[in-house]
Amino acid sequence: MEGELFGLPLKKVLEMLRVIEPVPVPFSLPLIKGIINVRGELIPVLDLKSILNLRPTKKEERIIILESPRRKAGVLVDDVYGVIRLN
């Protein structure tokens, strides 16, 4: 994102999608871009750049769906490079 590399724990990654334009929900937090339809499931999409205080210059190309035990959410990222093992 914006020329920097970030890692996400693979365990939490459910899937990756090409960007779908999220439907904005009125009065939600500015960090939440909206909701998307992933095979019949409504998933909120978060603006990861503003969460991380990055200045957005590029248009995001991918949405990564993350899963925690209680909820699912998508985050917007510029690009996905691959999987690496960190020790």
Partner 1 sequence: MAVMKTRMQPVKKLFQKFPRVARNLSGMLGKEVELITEGENTEMDKSLIEKLEEPLIHLIRNVVDHSIEPPDEREKLGKPRAGQIKPKAYYQGDRVFISVEDNGRSIDVKKVKAKAIEKGIATKDQLEKMTEKEILSLVFSPGFSTADRISEVSGRGVVMDVVMRFRSTVDLFSEKGKGTRVVMSFLLTIGIIKSLLVSLGGRLFAIPIHSVLEIVSGDDALISLVSGEEVLILRGNIIPLINFVEVLGIQTQKVGFVVVVLIGNRRVAMAVEDMLGDEKVVIKPLGKFFGDVEGISGATITGDGSIGLISDPVGLVRYPKDCHQDNKTAGFLCGGRAFWIASKEGA
Q: Which residues bind partner 1 (CB under 8 A)?
A: 23-29, 32, 35-37, 40, 42, 44, 46, 70-71, 73
CB of 30 to partner 1, least distance (A): 11
Structure tokens at 2: 């914006």
Q: Quick one: 27 or 81, whose CB is closer to partner 1?
A: 27
Indicate the SS3 state at residue 74. strand
CB of 14 to partner 1, least distance (A): 15
Q: Kindly compute the dihedral angle of the four CA atoms of residues 37, 43, 44, 46, in this order, to the nearest 10 degrees.
A: -100
CB of 5 to partner 1, least distance (A): 26
Instruction: Give the integer Cα–Cα distance in Å for 57 and 49.
Output: 10
